[in-house]
Chain A
């Protein structure tokens, strides 16, 4: 391999994606060629330049509306427009800031899985299984020997009785079918107006699926105090929630959030999963809900079926 070919391959030599034979050929060439080693040093500088990001402390300053020290803010802004990684990190810091500035925001975390009891030692389990099998076998054999004749007679009677029941049920079914036919004819001749009472929803609604951000957690913190059940102020017009939820890599197509007061459903709305925050975004209106204890049920909608994922309690005070 000549120098030009080596120099052109150096970026891939450094990122480790060359074929093993190419890699070793270049390595051997570099040990003998000072010019190519110089090009390798330049390639490393190239990597440093093209991997440059806004320093994390400057990103924090920027997210908190402070001028980053020693950096042109225009430069930072242009970089943020072009660099998805820095933009995403900035968004995370801004979310953190919002959590600092908006104590009414509640965080909901997935509930911890219950810890299963430790299994007894294997030899103990084997002994238990053997003893149980022997006991069951004895009981079955004894029952069979004692009751076989008696059961045979009883079964004969039961079969006869069941046949009689089936015949009577068939007669009853025929009568019912005839009655249904008559009722259908009557209904077709004179349709009745059907009225279903619909609970009225207050203007402004109880909640909405289109939201900004927010959160609930078992470790809800407010003023440094921990509370078991998150609570929202009844004076609040909107309390956005982020329901932190591990999708195990694949979020559902749609989500639904239902809010119940006791066992009575208050409302149900669609919600969406947000990749950035890693939660289902939702918003409720505590002033419309009124004071009380509520349960929020998060369900995933897959193939038209709602599958319950998690439920959380919260209070409106």
Chain B
């Protein structure tokens, strides 16, 4: 048993008005069977919708969720803003979505031998910048034409340019140029947004009109 009696009740929980939640969480951390069963039943129910997507490694997923919940409760990350049950359901959903995304992620070409020389001016983002970076990427994506998103979605799923040109009934050369134009447009928008946010100190950018225009590509 990973929990022993040396684990003391958390101070924030002792003071909490939601005595029942505090009691369940404290007993869970102390290894009380009934509390573990209660929380585990919430986990199983909250994770149920994801079981079909993750069934090949379902036991591992549930174990990851349990570890995450133990970690969060142990670190006092639950502040009682919502009920413990609601908090745990949200944590389970979050963890399961991350697992689904990790499963769908396609590894890109191994470029170990090019590491350090292919990105001379672009070191990886720091952890602090990562949140703002995701926001920026979403804004850039919002401003590129829908056709670009479709093209790059096919690319990300590993389709070759010959297959893409067959599917879209366009010449291979035309397709390669379109893909390049899309990338150029996206990186240009990103640079503009970055420059704008540095200029006025605000990352807020006016939303795009709607959908994007495929003619922008040509």
Q: Point out residues on A near B: beta carbons under 8 Å.
A: 7-9, 11-18, 23, 27, 30-31, 34, 37-38, 40-57, 59-60, 63-64, 70-72, 74-75, 78-79, 82, 85, 89, 92-93, 95-97, 99-100, 107, 215, 217, 219, 221, 224-226, 244, 246, 277-278
Contact = CB atoms under 8 A, between A and B. Distances in A.
Contacts of A244: 48, 51
Judged by DSSP, the binding face of B is: helix
Interface residues of B, number: 76
Nearest to A74: B207
Contacts of A74: 207
Judged by DSSP, the binding face of A is: helix
B141 A52 contact: yes
Given A8-B180, A92-B97, A215-B48, A49 B186 contact: yes
Contact of B176 (A8, A43, A64, A100): A8
Given A18-B160, A37-B120, A50 B153 contact: yes
Contact of A17 (B50, B141, B153, B158): B158
A71 B51 contact: no
B68 interface: no
19 contacts: A7-B180, A23-B109, A40-B118, A50-B148, A50-B186, A51-B156, A52-B140, A70-B135, A75-B139, A89-B100, A92-B49, A92-B50, A93-B97, A96-B93, A100-B89, A221-B41, A224-B38, A277-B49, A277-B52
A41 B114 CA distance: 11
A100 B46 contact: yes
B196 interface: no
B119 interface: yes
B214 interface: no
B97 A60 contact: yes
B138 to A, nearest CB: 5
Given A41-B118, A49-B141, A8 B97 contact: no
Contacts of A226: 37, 41
B176 A95 contact: no
B5 to A, nearest CB: 23
Interface string B33-61: 00001100110111111111101000000
A63 to B, nearest CB: 7
B98 interface: yes
Nearest to B108: A14
B46 A96 contact: yes
B131 interface: yes
